[in-house]
């Protein structure tokens, strides 16, 4: 039986990367909901709040680490180049948003936002660039 991650992949390295990202995403979803609930309702006391607050961050770090591992595993130079372009585009968008919002917050009176939104913007920009690349290749 073929897994979903293998069906969406063009290379074995992509299938492994997709599997790692899927597992990290599931772990993230499973940890985020109870952690947010516990923190919002004061069910966790110091010093455990710091440790508990880090739990949803671990799979997100794994998500980004999977990209580094994927790039070292990918044998197809063309596909690796496409993914590097996606990563560069996503990094440019995320860092631009972070810098602009940082200045707006510090100097323009905009409300601060949680820094984890930089990762959300990065993932969205990477996906958008991948989609545009796919459209161009059609």
Q: Looking up tokens 């972070």, which residue turns up?
A: 98
Q: Report the pLDDT value the prediction gives residue 134, as an integer from 0 to 100.
A: 86
Q: Report whether the peptide linkage leading into residue 34 is cis, meaning its omega lies within 30 degrees of zero.
A: no
Sign of CA dihedral 37, 40, 43, 48: positive
Q: Report the pLDDT value the prediction gives residue 10, as an integer from 0 to 100.
A: 85
Q: How far is CA 121 from CA 52, 97, 127, in A?
A: 24, 8, 10
Q: For residues 13 and 71, what is the distance between their CA atoms, to the nearest angstrom?
A: 9
Q: How far is CA 120 from CA 3, 98, 130, in A?
A: 26, 11, 15
Q: Report the pLDDT value the prediction gives residue 6, as an integer from 0 to 100.
A: 47
Q: Report the pLDDT value the prediction gives residue 4, as an integer from 0 to 100.
A: 45
Tokens at residue 68, please?
């580094």
According to DSSP H, which parts of the chain are helical?
4-7, 12-40, 48-54, 57-73, 77-108, 117-137
List the pLDDT tens digit at each of the 138 positions of the chain.
344 444 467 899 999 999 999 999 999 999 999 999 999 999 999 889 999 999 999 999 999 999 999 999 999 999 999 999 999 999 999 999 999 999 999 999 999 999 999 999 999 999 999 999 889 888
Q: Report the pLDDT value the prediction gives residue 8, as an integer from 0 to 100.
A: 63
């Amino acid at each position: 039986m073929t897994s979903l991650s293998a069906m969406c992949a063009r290379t074995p390295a992509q299938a492994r990367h997709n599997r790692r990202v899927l597992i990290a995403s599931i772990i993230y979803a499973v940890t985020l909901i109870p952690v947010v609930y516990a923190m919002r309702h004061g069910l966790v006391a110091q010093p455990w709040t710091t440790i508990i607050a880090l739990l949803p961050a671990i799979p997100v770090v794994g998500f980004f680490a999977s990209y580094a591992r994927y790039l070292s595993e990918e044998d197809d130079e063309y596909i690796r180049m496409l993914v590097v372009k996606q990563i560069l585009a996503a990094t440019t968008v995320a860092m631009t948003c972070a810098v602009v919002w940082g200045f707006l917050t510090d100097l323009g009176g905009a409300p601060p936002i949680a820094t984890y939104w930089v990762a959300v913007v990065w993932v969205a920009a990477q996906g958008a660039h991948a989609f545009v690349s796919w459209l161009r290749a059609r």
